[in-house]
Amino acid sequence: MRYGVWGIMAAAVLTVAGGLLSRAETERRTCRIHQHLTARQDTGCGCGGAGLCSHLPLVVIDTRGQEIPGAITETWDRFGQMIYTKAKDGETTISAHMEVIDNQDTNNHVSDKPQLATDCRFRIRGNASRRFPKSSYAVTFVDDKGSSRNIPVMGMDAHHEWVLNGPILDKSLIRNYMWYNIAGELMDYAPNVRFCEVVLNGRYDGLYLMAESITAGKDGRLNLSANVKNAEIMGYLLRHDRPTEEDLEIVRDIYTYPERAFQIAEDVAIRYPGKSKLTEEMARTIELDYSAFQKALFSYDYNSKEYGYENWIDVDSFVDYYLINEFTGNLDAGSYSTYIYKEMGGKFKLCVWDFNNACDNYQEKAVEPEEFLMPEVSWYFMLFKDEDFVKRVQRRYRELRKTYLSQEYLMEYIDETIAYLGPAIKRNNERWALELTEWDGLVPKERNVYTYQAAVEQLKEWLTRRGNWMDGSIHSLLKYAHPSRNRIYNH
């Protein structure tokens, strides 16, 4: 059977804020598109194959002779963060032209008529990845007047904000695709993604992933609204991350309550409402609301019915976010690149982001599959004190090991994705041959692999060991909730 059926089953039992979801949103949450299962397969092409001929969508970008801003400079700002290059006019983005060639019935060629052609604001994005030779980009579609413009892309709902992620440290090329999609089956929302191939200023630049950025959207993204001043019904989005000059507004906790939270998240910034909509009053309302949640979670009565965390968070969302990131050893989750949001009238939920480093692909150190990594990170430091929460995690884990986290599903997912990508992998690995065969992105040196096959084997082996170990160890998570460990809270 196709696993799409599981998706419908899983989505059907999801708890959603009663009555607040539009029909479009309900649908988006029941039919995740996995490109490798539904898109046209590579069945050859009548063109004879001279030049770039791909069954994947082509993204053709012209920067009109401008350098792309957002590159590293080796100088640092007052937060200790790298200062990035700017455009000649001092802006952080340039105006570029983008075409997407995505034929329905035939392969795609650069000379084909594009399905989408638009101006956009364009820059390099990322943290550590800005040092990599293959860059990732932030894209905002704009019209002739420079105003943002919503356009559907490769079957994903219309929006103006997108991310073009170029896998390179992840030599398997599929970590983000795989885990955004699996997360999208389990959780209310995870960014939709499509593989494509990029031609930048006439040069072939390999395999990329077009991804939705996490933000508000009428169709298919988060149901947030800047129109309401009351934080209880207003929808907003925060990001825990390293502080940057780019952040719109810094949320500071006015109770200085979550001392613990500050140890693990350097900075909490409002990502939505954005700069143009966010008033002082809204920022203050959000700050108070988020502080009240932190106060509830990090207080002695964190699990009381009257004041406890369940009044604030969608527990299923926190359980799934934990399991996906724990299972993949995605260490940054909860501290960096961590998105927490409240849809209109709803409770706090989490959204996954960035699996390039997952499954033992951190540059700095190895991540062993035989240990729990996240029970003391961020909010989970408190949540794991609660036996009820731990038991929900354990129940959900055992359930998911029969579906989306089963050994069979994961191995098949990897094999089928690679089979779908087919010749695009070869083209990418020829374009980035030096990086694949010689680059030691990981330390110590022994962790690096130098063939595509070895990269896939590493991913499979790590996930296999991870699942086996967690099966035998998931019961032991109860130790975090044991009174002997938490007597100061429970007795």
Length of the chain: 491
Tell me which residues in 48-77 interact with Zn ion (CB under 5 A): 53
Tell me which residues in 180-219 interact with Zn ion (CB under 5 A): none
Residues in contact with Zn ion, shown as a per-residue x/- string from 95 to 124 under the rule CB under 5 A: ------------x-----------------
Q: Kindly state the smallest distance separating residue 111's Cβ from Zn ion, in Å.
A: 10
What is the Cα–Cα distance from 474 to 352, expressed in whole angstroms?
22
State which residue, 48 or 80, has the beta carbon closest to Zn ion: 48
State which residue, 52 or 278, has the beta carbon closest to Zn ion: 52
Q: Kindly state the smallest distance separating residue 426's Cβ from Zn ion, in Å.
A: 15
Q: Kindly state the smallest distance separating residue 39's Cβ from Zn ion, in Å.
A: 16
Q: Name the token pair of 175.
A: 């970590």
Q: Kindly state the smallest distance separating residue 443's Cβ from Zn ion, in Å.
A: 42
For residue 222, the 8-state DSSP code is B
State which residue, 45 or 366, has the beta carbon closest to Zn ion: 45
State which residue, 8 or 47, has the beta carbon closest to Zn ion: 47
Omega before residue 57 within 30° of 0, cis:
no
Options 43-51, 194-202, 243-251, 442-450: segment touching Zn ion (CB under 5 A): 43-51
Options 47-55, 197-205, 401-409, 462-470: segment touching Zn ion (CB under 5 A): 47-55
Q: Kindly state the smallest distance separating residue 105's Cβ from Zn ion, in Å.
A: 12
133 Cβ contact list (under 8 Å, min separation 6): 168, 432, 435
What is the Cα–Cα distance from 444 to 448, expressed in whole angstroms?
8
Q: Name the token pair of 146.
A: 């420079």
Q: Kindly state the smallest distance separating residue 440's Cβ from Zn ion, in Å.
A: 36
Q: Kindly state the smallest distance separating residue 423's Cβ from Zn ion, in Å.
A: 11
**Secondary structure of 39-98 in HEC code, one letter for each residue:** CCCCCCCCCCCCCCCECCCEEEEECCCCCCCCCEEEEECCCCCEEECCCCCCCCCEEEEE
Tell me which residues in 415-444 interact with Zn ion (CB under 5 A): none
CA-derived radius of gyration, the chain: 22
State which residue, 107 or 417, has the beta carbon closest to Zn ion: 107
Angle at the Cα of 314 from the Cα atoms of 309 and 317, rounded to 5 degrees: 120
Q: Name the token pair of 122.
A: 């364009």
Listed in order, strand segments (DSSP E) in 126-266 are 136-142, 151-153, 156-159, 161-165, 193-200, 203-212, 236-241
318 Cβ contact list (under 8 Å, min separation 6): 349, 350, 379, 380, 383, 389
What is the Cα–Cα distance from 336 to 141, expressed in whole angstroms?
27
Q: Kindly state the smallest distance separating residue 50's Cβ from Zn ion, in Å.
A: 8
Diameter over CA atoms, the chain: 75
Residues in contact with Zn ion, shown as a per-residue x/- string from 349 to 388 under the rule CB under 5 A: ----------------------------------------
State which residue, 47 or 83, has the beta carbon closest to Zn ion: 47
What is the Cα–Cα distance from 258 to 302, expressed in whole angstroms?
12
What is the Cα–Cα distance from 8 to 351, expressed in whole angstroms?
20
- Number of residues counted as binding Zn ion (CB under 5 A): 4
Q: Kindly state the smallest distance separating residue 121's Cβ from Zn ion, in Å.
A: 32
Beta-bridge mates of residue 206:
198
State which residue, 101 or 265, has the beta carbon closest to Zn ion: 101
Q: Which of 14, 21, 37, 45 binds Zn ion (CB under 5 A)?
A: 45
State which residue, 47 or 250, has the beta carbon closest to Zn ion: 47
CB 322 within 8 A of CB 157: no
State which residue, 109 or 460, has the beta carbon closest to Zn ion: 109
State which residue, 60 or 82, has the beta carbon closest to Zn ion: 60
Q: Which of 31, 47, 72, 250 binds Zn ion (CB under 5 A)?
A: 47
Options 14-22, 44-52, 344-352, 384-392: segment touching Zn ion (CB under 5 A): 44-52
Q: Determine if 234 is a binding residue for Zn ion (CB under 5 A).
A: no
Q: Site residues (CB under 5 A) for Zn ion?
A: 45, 47, 53, 107
